[in-house]
Amino acid sequence: MRRILQLTFFFSFILFASCGTNTNSVVEKTYHVWGNNETCKKTIEKACKLSGVSEANWNMDSKLLTFKIDTAIITTDAVLKSVASAGYDNELFYGNDYAYSNLPEACQYERRDN
């Protein structure tokens, strides 16, 4: 009987201890991404469609990209590298030169110095 009480106490403790931990690894991030228009918006948001990214929205006026990621699956760097590979400079990475040169003329923004 004593053994059963010990096991019950042990499993109850484990159950209550696990309820107190926060396992939510979804975070919202915002970064500056250069671009010009609605076409840029579509391309930037498409570049964010990666496993672990639940939302992505690029604001044309503020030039801010806001996205929600599951940090257990993907990193912020991976998302911003994907945007850069589509040709768009952002706070952390320069856009791929070849991809930038293939953007429509209306999407070719004034680039930052490398």
Report the candidate in 69, 60, 53, 68 with the shortest Cα–Cα distance to residue 88: 60
Quickly name the fold that domain 24-107 has.
Alpha-Beta Plaits (3.30.70)
What are the tens digits of pLDDT across the range 64-98? 999 999 999 999 999 999 999 999 999 999 999 99
pLDDT of 1 over the 70 cut: no
CA angle in degrees (0–180, nearest 5) for 77-92-83: 65
CB-hemisphere CA count at 13 Å for 28?
6
Domain ranges of the chain: 24-107
- pLDDT(14) > 50: yes
For residue 33, what are the β-bridge partners?
A: 90
Kindly state the tokens that stand for 110.
């004034």
pTM of the model: 0.77
Q: Is residue 16 classed exposed, middle or buried when 0-12, 13-18 and 19+ CB atoms within 10 A define those classes? A: exposed
The model's pLDDT over 45-59, given as tens digits with 9 standing for 90+, comes to 999 999 999 999 999
pLDDT tops 80 at residue 17 = no
